[in-house]
A and B are shown apart, each in its own frame.
Chain A
Amino acid sequence: MSGLHDMTAVSVERLVTINREQGLHARPALELVNAVKASGLSVTIASPGMPAVNAGSLLAVMSQGFVQGAEVLLSATGEGSDAVLERAAEILSVSD
């Protein structure tokens, strides 16, 4: 990645099915928030067609009540977006 990419805010989206037994409660939500915060990027999560919330906020993620089997739309902006969404998708789709 060269410095040029920093100048243009690239937005990446990804649709993921939650496979975690407890949905996005407790442990899985914490893993997602930790991954997002470690990336330093702005990442959101939403049910398709619904307003997106900050995926770096444990309270925001938990309050959505995402359950196992739900589809969610992840979006990230900035350099490294692909990598953080890859990591996030991994956290959501791994089966317990």
Chain B
Amino acid sequence: MQNFSGVGVSPGRIIGQIRQMPKPLIEPADGELRADSTTLDQAASALRLAAAAVEADLTTRALAAHGEAREVLEATAQMAVDPMLHDAAVDVLSQGRSAERAIWEAGASVAQMLVNLGGYLAERATDVLDVRARIVAELRGVAAPGVPESATPFILVADDLAPADTATLDPAKVLALLTAGGGPQSHTAIIARALGLPAVVAAAGVDELPGGTLIYLDGASGAITVDLGPDEIAAADAWARANATLAVFDGDGRTADGHRIPLLANVGGSADALAAAGAGAQGVGLLRTEFCFLGRDTEPTVAEQIAAYRGVLDAFPGKKVVVRTLDAGADKPLPFVTDATEPNPALGVRGYRIVGTSRGVLERQLSAIAAAAADSTADVWVMAPMISTAEEAGQFAALAAAAGLKTPGVMVEVPSAALTAEAILSHVEFVSLGTNDLTQYAMAADRQLGPLSGLNTPWQPAVLQLVRLTVAGAQAEGRGKSVGKPVGVCGEAAADPALAVVLVGLGVASLSMTARALAAVAAVLSSVTLAEARALAQLALAAPSADDARAAVRARLPLLDELGL
């Protein structure tokens, strides 16, 4: 059998059997009729048998589950054979429709009824739709939709994975993720990094591999090997051993010569913050405050916000916590601040820019952050997203000061901010590079688009130049002063161990990343001296392309390959 290659998006070398994610279920056509030879009774009976099979399957799964998961599965099993659902389906059958179409429409009407009842019942509507899909799959004789069941851990293979698929993904059962489609910024890639699962995306053809095939997957290089040999077995063994050491970060980020680089965590709520503190994070470099705004139609009260922020600050007593003010708009619209009719949301009223259109939202948030900080021993810094000019930085600093916050800063994610860093830093105490948006805006390439993934990498020489210019601006601003103002990074770039070394070599003072990446970044950073990191940064800056920059740096960091990173 042939081998495959894709884009490695989450490191790890693993051997395992694959299970294919079933293809998404296609809706039975509206008005689909059953064969003339099938009577109403026969169709109703086929439907009952299919429903009973689904009930039996869900009951078996319920018996293997515990707690709340078990209750949900038991209730879902009951829904499969529910008389209300069945009677509604028989009504549709009596109009001559096929059994598939009948259960489809019955499920839709019951789900709509639950949605209309609201509250807890509305949440159960998705269970009815899940049951409906399972019954249709059973009637058609195809695999039920959703992550496949297996007694043993497996490598999940799909065309691409949607948030609804990964929500039910059990990290104890899934060894790695492999998709035929998607790109480095796809949902699959993001969820894999968050769960710490090795993953390869954009590996064309893997969705045709038969279930049960034993494969070797390298989440760093993107290689997929079907014909396993001793080399693959040795590599997977070595990874398993290295992974044990990579799971631990001692909480002291440094280069080989002892130059301290605090390694912080990006978090989006108190549960995240506790996990990050447990992983040794030296503080929070990016608190995404959207967590207490998302899914709401109205602005949360100041009291609600104080409680939410306090949950995060409490996880880091005595440590630095950088709170980013609301970054709504573009891919994170909020009904009370976002104008949904904007023709170009990424270039629209987002981030700090809401200050001019949504009166008081930012001021109330800053007062909530200040109140939470006053009750905490955490060293609270605050920063604004989507700053384009020094004037905006000055306005934000004034708002922060008015709220009683003493360490204001801004994010550098618009190229204009990188180019005017010196002027910006004359108003604020620090800047933090958001490399995801900085790359998107520097390269004029939408982060979400798979076909533009080649442009959308922070290894692009133009992006590295913007990092260099930001640091140069900070140095110019600090000339003649005893201590310069720090430039940090809080984008995905900081979680790539090779790029982390380059960023440190460019003069970045701290790195903030998903907590899963802390140990790997710390291990690689501690293998180079500051002088070596600077040399690697020059190598990357001088490279003619993003791929050349990455290859040149990786070639000088042999530890990456030893660790399977």
Contact = CB atoms under 8 A, between A and B. Distances in A.
**Secondary structure type dominating chain B contacts:** helix
Contact of A59 (B71, B74, B84, B120): B84
A27 interface: yes
B162 interface: no
Interface string A41-62: 0000000000000101111101
**Secondary structure type dominating chain A contacts:** helix
A79 B449 CA distance: 66
B431 to A, nearest CB: 49
A30 B81 CA distance: 13
A63 B71 CA distance: 18
A26 interface: yes
A89 to B, nearest CB: 21
A27 B71 CA distance: 7
Given A59-B82, A59-B84, A26 B71 contact: yes
A33 B84 contact: no
Contacts of B110: 59
Interface residues of B, number: 17
Given A62-B121, A63-B114, A30 B74 contact: yes
Contact of B83 (A30, A56, A63, A65): A56
B386 interface: no
A30 to B, nearest CB: 5
B128 interface: yes
A57 B87 CA distance: 11
A71 B171 CA distance: 45
18 contacts: A25-B120, A26-B75, A26-B120, A30-B75, A54-B83, A54-B84, A57-B82, A58-B78, A59-B110, A59-B114, A59-B128, A60-B82, A62-B114, A62-B124, A63-B84, A63-B117, A63-B121, A65-B117
A26 B79 CA distance: 12
Given A26-B71, A30-B78, A60 B84 contact: yes
Contacts of B128: 59
Contacts of A26: 71, 75, 120
A59 B117 contact: no
Contacts of A27: 71
Interface string B103-132: 000000010011001001100100010000
A33 B75 CA distance: 10
A58 B71 contact: no
Nearest to A34: B78
B85 interface: yes
Which of the four size classes fits the interface of chain A? Answer: 10 to 19
Across chains A and B, which 3 residue pairs bring their CB atoms closest together, nearest first? A59-B84, A58-B78, A57-B84
A58 B110 CA distance: 12
B123 to A, nearest CB: 10
Q: From A54, A58, A60, A63, name the one whose CB has the most chain B CB atoms within 10 angstroms.
A: A58
A56 B82 CA distance: 8
Given A25-B120, A63-B121, A58 B114 contact: no
Q: From A25, A54, A63, name the one whose CB has the most chain B CB atoms within 10 angstroms.
A: A63
Contacts of A60: 82-84
Given A57-B83, A62-B114, A63-B84, 11 more contacts: A27-B71, A30-B71, A30-B78, A33-B78, A57-B82, A58-B75, A58-B79, A59-B85, A59-B110, A63-B114, A65-B121
A60 B78 CA distance: 12
A65 B120 CA distance: 10
Nearest to A22: B120
A13 B214 CA distance: 61
A89 B75 CA distance: 20
Nearest to A33: B78
A31 B213 CA distance: 42
B222 to A, nearest CB: 45
Contacts of A63: 84, 113-114, 117, 121
Q: From B82, B114, B120, B121, name the one whose CB has the most chain A CB atoms within 10 angstroms.
A: B82
A58 B113 CA distance: 14
Contacts of B117: 63, 65
A30 B79 CA distance: 10
A27 B82 CA distance: 16
Contacts of A65: 117, 121
